[in-house]
């Protein structure tokens, strides 16, 4: 059986952490610490519950004054490094969680803690309640962090301020109006570190989900100056490209009317759960010039209520030569996974060429059906 992600919080981890805390905190009681960690509910806690639970147990051994506790957090980070314990490991995000829980009323000490701790393990989750409580001060601090010597601190400025950061609380005010984020993202768009630039792209992609016009404007301004920024913009626009947003499609040179779907067939019209759908299709560039090509397919999954919901899968982007034809075969797995429930019955498939669902000249519609069965 595969290990669960939450099991990064395991006895081996807590033994290492206890060894560090013993070095740093006078009279630290490792027996009591482990008893409190492994309480009657521990086995049922999910990943983030274990993370916050660890921070809460740690608090029993930390100084009462939060500013003093930040000093101890820095000593803990120093000892972790001294012992060669891997940086940026998700299990040590219990340390930023400590700041999140106990530092919200001590802004200055918390910011000091974030700046130090995030250089060892990311504070991207923990900083978000501070953005909500202290929006003006915190975003000004994050703008200041864009010039920090540590790439981890610079990344915190963009990653921690993402309006829709996965696994984290949303930032409703910034979802509604991302304008305060733009100076931060602009300052980091040509950062020396690719991880920081990728974080900028992820922030912009978040913004695109609620404020597409803002990202269209930024993409238009930023594109075409250098290869690194072009790559950032392309990644930032991935949701808009998947949605075939007209201005973004045009900005990247994807024109649908010159490329035709000339054939399409489903090789497995009946698919059993656990097997895969196989389909093939042919396309032709009818232009006398090479054309940029973005190929995707839309799979219309049958829902429990009988309606269909589309999920788009990217095949590739490339240039197709003038008057050229291409033949493509693809597979789509229907292996059972925890993140999707399959419903038996008629599903549909469409080929998407430069953002548009396409049909051959002999077909009345773009969607082609296949049946999902249980093999019974």
Q: Total domain count for the chain? A: 2
Q: What is the pTM of this model?
A: 0.87
- Asked whether residue 185 is domain-assigned, the answer is no
Mean pLDDT (whole number) for 166-183: 95
Please, which pLDDT band fits residue 1 given cuts at 50, 70 and 90? very low
Please say whether the beta carbons of 342 and 334 come within 8 A: yes
Q: Which string of b and e fits 182-220 if b means at least 16 CB within 10 Å? A: eebbebbbebeeeebbbbbbbbbbbbbebbbebbbebbe
Rounded to whole angstroms, the Cα distance separating 330 from 210 reads 32
Residue 94 contacts residue 76 (beta carbons within 8 Å): no
Judged on CB neighbours under 10 Å (0-12, 13-18, 19+), 39 is exposed
Task: Identify the pLDDT of residue 273.
Answer: 94
Residue 2 pLDDT: 45
Average pLDDT over residues 129-143: 98
**Percent of the chain clearing pLDDT 90 (strictly above):** 89
- Asked whether residue 51 is assigned to any structural domain, the reply reads yes
Mean pLDDT of 146-157: 98
Last residue of one domain, picked from the residues 72, 93, 126:
126
Whether 92 maps to a domain, the answer reads yes
* CA–CA dist 255, 243 (Å, integer): 15
pLDDT of residue 262 exceeding 70, the answer is yes
- Give the per-residue pLDDT at 331: 96
Q: 296-351, pLDDT tens digit by residue?
A: 999 999 999 999 999 999 999 999 999 999 999 999 999 988 778 899 999 999 99
Which residue segment(s) compose the domain that 38 sits in? 1-126
Residue 49: partners with Cβ closer than 8 Å, 6 or more residues away: none
Q: What is the CATH number of the domain that holds 339?
A: 2.60.40.10
Q: Is residue 239 part of a domain?
A: no
Give 268-293 pLDDT, tens digit per residue. Answer: 999 999 999 999 999 999 999 999 99
In a domain, 247, yes or no: no
pLDDT-derived band at 363, boundaries 50, 70, 90: confident
What is the arithmetic mean of pLDDT over 110-119?
Answer: 97
Tens digit of each residue's pLDDT (9 = 90 or more) over 14-34? 999 999 999 999 989 999 999
Could you report the per-residue pLDDT of 35-60, keeping only the tens digit for each? 999 999 999 999 999 999 999 999 99
Are 124 and 159 in contact by the 8 Å Cβ rule? The answer is yes
**Which residue, of 126, 153, 169, is where some domain finishes?**
126
146 belongs to a structural domain: no
Which of 95, 126, 157 is a domain's end point? Answer: 126
Tens-digit pLDDT profile for residues 79-92: 999 998 887 788 99
Give yes or no for a contact between 272 and 374, defined as CB atoms under 8 angstroms apart. Answer: yes
Other CB atoms within a 10 A radius of the CB of residue 353 amount to 22
User: What confidence score (pLDDT) does residue 376 get?
Assistant: 64
Least confident of 200-209, 243-252, 258-267, 337-346: 337-346
Assess if residue 169 is contained within a domain.
no
Residues 156-168 have a mean pLDDT of 96
Within-domain flag for 204: no
> 368 with 348: CB under 8 angstroms?
yes
């Amino acid at each position: 059986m595969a290990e669960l992600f939450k099991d990064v919080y395991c006895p081996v981890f807590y033994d290492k952490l206890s060894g560090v805390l013993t070095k740093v905190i006078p009279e630290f009681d490792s027996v009591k610490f482990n008893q409190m960690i492994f309480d009657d509910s521990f086995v049922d806690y999910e990943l983030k519950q274990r993370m916050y639970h660890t921070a809460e147990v740690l608090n029993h051994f930390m100084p009462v004054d939060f500013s003093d506790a930040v000093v101890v957090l820095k000593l803990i980070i120093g000892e972790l490094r001294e012992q060669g314990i891997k940086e940026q490991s998700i299990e040590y995000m219990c340390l930023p969680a400590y700041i999140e829980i106990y530092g919200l009323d001590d802004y200055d000490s918390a910011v000091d803690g974030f700046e130090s701790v995030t250089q060892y393990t990311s504070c991207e989750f923990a900083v978000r309640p501070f953005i909500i409580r202290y929006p003006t001060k915190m975003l000004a601090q994050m703008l200041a962090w864009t010039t920090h010597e540590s790439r981890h601190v610079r990344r915190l400025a963009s990653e921690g301020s993402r309006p829709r950061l996965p696994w984290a609380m949303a930032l409703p005010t910034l979802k509604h109006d991302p304008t305060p984020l733009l100076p931060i993202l602009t300052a980091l768009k040509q950062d020396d570190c690719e991880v920081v630039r990728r974080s900028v792209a992820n922030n912009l992609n978040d913004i695109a989900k609620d404020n597409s016009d803002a990202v269209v404007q930024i993409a238009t301004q930023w594109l075409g100056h250098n290869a690194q920024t072009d790559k950032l913009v392309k990644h930032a626009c991935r949701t808009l490209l998947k949605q075939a947003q007209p201005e973004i499609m045009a900005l990247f040179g994807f024109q649908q009317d010159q490329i035709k779907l000339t054939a399409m067939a489903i090789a497995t019209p009946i698919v059993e759960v656990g097997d895969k759908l196989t389909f093939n299709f042919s396309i032709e560039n009818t232009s006398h010039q090479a054309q940029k090509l973005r190929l995707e397919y839309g799979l219309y999954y049958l829902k429990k209520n009988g309606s269909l919901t589309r999920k788009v899968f990217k095949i590739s982007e490339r240039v197709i030569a003038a008057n050229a034809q291409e033949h493509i075969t693809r597979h789509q797995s229907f292996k059972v996974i925890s993140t999707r429930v399959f419903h038996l019955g008629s599903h549909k498939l469409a080929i998407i060429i430069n953002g548009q669902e396409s049909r051959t000249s002999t077909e009345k519609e773009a969607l082609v059906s296949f049946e999902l069965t249980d093999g019974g």
